[in-house]
Amino acid sequence: MAMAGLSLKATAAVTTRSLQTGDKRPFRSTAQKCRVSQLACVSASHEDLRAASVRHLAFQRSSSCTVVQITCAQDLAEQMREMRAAEKRWEQQVKEGKVKQLSAKEAGYAMQLNGYTFLDVRPSNERSKALVKDSVHVPMYEVDKSVDPGTLLRKFSNFTMGGWWNGLPVMKYNERFMPDVVAKIPKTAIIIVGCQKGLRSLSACERLYKAGYRNLFWLNGGLDAAQEGDLEREGPQPFNFGGIGGVSEFIG
């Protein structure tokens, strides 16, 4: 086998030199012609196999990307449907008078009076930038630090849908939310519930009402709508910077 392999290599070298130099001399024997023919077939087979492997790898990569894109799109569509249904339900509680709404300026006036409690339901990363003085903090959602496949897929989807720009991380519901609220705030308290943009706080009002809280006020538009001086602020940045992150935080 070693001799055959050596002979095949030698024949290939001779053939290559002949082709490169334009040598027109005939092959010495029929056996040599056969070996050259075999070599040509083997070379062609290797080239075909290599090309097929490249095409297969490209197809696999393309298929994987397509599956991820379809999964992300399906998840996003389902989330949008659930969110629209939830928003209608949350808005209905305001229409029915279960929850009253306040602007940031009105909330600021109310906080100057005795008996009002401002409940901040934002995650810690938003509150660390700016907070309402004397507010009670119980986050309804916190940053999801899990590394399971489902969470990683949501993080990938979040990044491709704009997370790289706004820096908003994937969140998960705080299972301790209601127990912590009950432990910190009595059910007889007058509560102004606020978040960054107004949606999470409206959702929190629904949970608070179901738990027996009846004196509920919702900060319409969230802290994003607050002008400087509307609410007494603590922290290094204006209220409307609380929900900004990623590249947009540095560019503006």
How buried is residue 236: exposed, middle or buried, by Cβ count under 10 Å (0-12/13-18/19+)? exposed
195 is catalytic: yes
Residues 230, 231, 233, CA angle at the centre, nearest 5°?
Answer: 130
> Which tokens in the block code for residue 200?
């999470």
Question: Radius of gyration of the chain from Cα atoms?
Answer: 34
3-state helix/strand/coil string of 202-216 = HHHHHHHHHCCCCCE
Q: Are 181 and 138 in contact (CB under 8 A)?
A: yes
Query: Whole-angstrom Cα distance, residue 227 to residue 239?
Result: 8
Q: Is 176 helix (H, G, I), strand (E, B) or coil?
A: coil
Catalytic residue among 41, 72, 195, 205: 195
Query: Whole-angstrom Cα distance, residue 117 to residue 189?
Result: 7
Catalytic residue annotation: 195
